[in-house]
Structure 1
Amino acid sequence: MLKREGDDLETHYRHILEEFGNQQGMLGEIFKKTWSVIQNSAMLRRLIMD
């Protein structure tokens, strides 16, 4: 079950993208300078849960 909601969920998601971008190798290259196009926490939650 997903424990985060609202702004906390969006912040956590952005942090994950940032962390991926800081990784060495191909993963870091893929996620470098990535930004989220999902601006709605309810939509993000729905995408994760479905």
Structure 2
Amino acid sequence: MSGVAPSRIAGDSCARTTWENATLTAAWLGLQVQPLALRETAATVLYRLQGRM
């Protein structure tokens, strides 16, 4: 199995956490995301990955 070439990986220098990454990306995309809605979406994805939904 081959990995992703390092030249194809971009880093984010302004977000320190996953939460900051999500909110900064939403702002960058021009989305109006409320923190509660973002948290609920993340929880839904995690529950689905765990087979709870």
Q: TM-score range by the shorter chain?
A: 0.3 to 0.5
Max Rg structure:
2
Structure with the bigger percentage of helix: 1
TM superposition score normalised by structure 2:
0.37
Normalised to the residue count of structure 1, the TM-score between the two structures is 0.38
Q: Does 1 or 2 have the higher relative contact order (CA < 8 Å, sep 6+)?
A: 1
